[in-house]
Amino acid sequence: MRFVHTGSSVPGFSSNPCKGAAERPTKITSTKGSDVDIVVVAKGASEWVAAGKKAGRKDPEWDMPSTATKTEAEMRYGSEGADYICDAVTEFVAKWGKIFGGGVQITIQEKVHPIMPPWEYYIQTKAKTN
């Protein structure tokens, strides 16, 4: 599992070419209004989403194509909240959503792409040890 920082809080525009204008910035970052977009990239995410839908889980509520590299698209899944993912992500969103004026948006993606577009970057994490 990896975490990716993406969207308007990185380069000044949405990474989803289906929103706004695909070839030019459409929203300049606002510390009070622009949300922080984080993608949970996890092997098996598509199967996990499909199994949840089959079991009657409503989340994630939507899926949409988004950029994964400069030339490739990837399906991302999301909902208004992140409670359906796991407790650690829920706690992160609760804490940091208050700090970032525009809130935090979490989406899920299946594939890890080694060459990322310039508007995304991996978030370095350190495993918690006891």
Q: What angle do CA 96, 61, 104 make, to 5 degrees?
A: 15
Q: How far apart are CA 12 and CA 14, in angstroms?
A: 7
Average pLDDT over residues 105-119: 79
Is the pLDDT at 12 greater than 50? The verdict is no
Q: How far apart are CA 100 and CA 59, in angstroms?
A: 24
pLDDT tens per residue across span 26-61: 555 566 667 788 888 888 888 999 998 899 988 898
